[in-house]
Amino acid sequence: GQIHNFSVDAHISENGVFLSDWAGWYPTPVDENGQPILRTITLEVTPIQGWSFVASGNPSEEGWKTPRPVDGMALVGNKHVVDKRLVTTPEGEVTVSVHLGANHADKAEYYLEAADDYLQLYVPLLGKYPYDHFAIVENFFSSGFAYPGFTVLGPRVVGMAPKSLAPGYLDHELLHNWWGNGVYVDATHGNWCEALTSY
């Protein structure tokens, strides 16, 4: 795929790994109408020295597992510095991790603090965060995609922190874990989840 927003389906190189949930990089059973059948997915990731990986769902002993039936699985990875924080919300604990390139590792605390603040704000309004984990991953191309349990942000956005933590960036991607990746949207009837997260 081309390396810019909405043109990449799958890319594996020394620059990073990006396997979207729509790229067909794993078997996808379909129903009689050709639509993907919702199912739980477990993904085992073989470690690579110096690389960290994040996938849809929750980390597990096997690798990554979706907590509910889904229509796809995404996987991203790179040579990142990883920082973590356990956030206690009114509805339980959420592990927040930030995966950044070495040149942006000094921005990690901004993202950990912002994710903590947003979880404290939105959990009382929307209910329990739908996953055990929320990962913020610096992507290697211009992006702003939300997946179940994680988001990828482009390097320019990451590098602008704390300015890039104004409303409309990280908060928007986090909210997609409730609207779009927790409760699905049928785009043929309007993309209401994008409107709701923007609101």
- Total-model pTM: 0.91
Specify the pLDDT at position 7.
Answer: 67
**Residue 16 contacts by C-beta under 8 Å, 6 or more apart in sequence?**
76, 77, 78, 139, 140
Amino acid 2: pLDDT:
43
**What does the alpha-carbon distance between residue 181 and residue 94 come to, in Å, rounded to a whole number?**
17
* Residue 57 DSSP code: S
The mean pLDDT of 44-48, rounded to a whole number, is: 91
pLDDT of residue 1: 41
